[in-house]
Amino acid sequence: MAVEKVTDLGSINITNEAIASLAGGVVTESYGVVGMASRNILRDGIAELLNMENYAKGVNVNVTSKGLEIDVYIIVSFGVRISQVVSEVQKNIKYVLEKTLQQDIIAVNVFVQGVSVKD
């Protein structure tokens, strides 16, 4: 399901993958985040670190009648306060997506899939 907008000139459709890629780019620029993680944890409880082309695999977008719900899966850096990193990620995603899409973001759920020692 995509975000649809109707204007005087026609309609605009924004796919969930485009929204997920935008959110993934915002997340990776946040302090304390090593990268995006896959929604599916691999065998021994290890999360796969995604590269830039696959950010959409680490973000789940749900379109509801009230607005968008975003689920983000991340890997954080060792030695940072996880609660602060998660709070900043939530604020950044909410701000950028609301400004860019002009849609209400009702929830940003952040799932920390792992902690990485390397930068």
- Would you say residue 42 has pLDDT above 60? no
Check residue 73 and give left, alpha or beta (phi > 0: left; psi -120 to 50: alpha). Answer: beta
Q: Which domain holds residue 36?
A: 3-116
Number of independent structural domains in the chain: 1
pLDDT for the residue 114? 86
- Judge whether 51 and 86 are in contact, CB under 8 Å: no
**Helical residues (DSSP H) of 6-81, grouped into ranges:** 16-28
Q: What is the mean pLDDT of residues 3-23?
A: 89
CA distances from 26 to 41, 45, 96, 115 (A): 22, 26, 8, 19
- Would you say residue 44 has pLDDT above 50? no
pLDDT tens-digit profile of 85-110?
999 999 999 999 999 998 899 999 99
| Alpha-carbon gap, residue 114 to 96, rounded angstroms | 25
Q: Is the dihedral of CA 112, 32, 61, 37 positive or negative?
A: negative
Q: What is the mean pLDDT of the chain?
A: 85
Per mean pLDDT, which range of 1-15, 17-31, 75-89 is the poorest?
1-15
Q: Supply the CATH number for residue 8's domain.
A: 3.30.70.1350
Task: Say whether pTM exceeds 0.85.
Answer: no
Check residue 9 and give left, alpha or beta (phi > 0: left; psi -120 to 50: alpha). Answer: alpha
- Place 47 in a pLDDT band, splitting at 50, 70 and 90: low
In DSSP terms, 107 is beta-bridged to 69
- Would you say residue 45 has pLDDT above 70? no
pLDDT tens-digit profile of 66-78?
989 999 999 999 9
pLDDT for the residue 78? 92
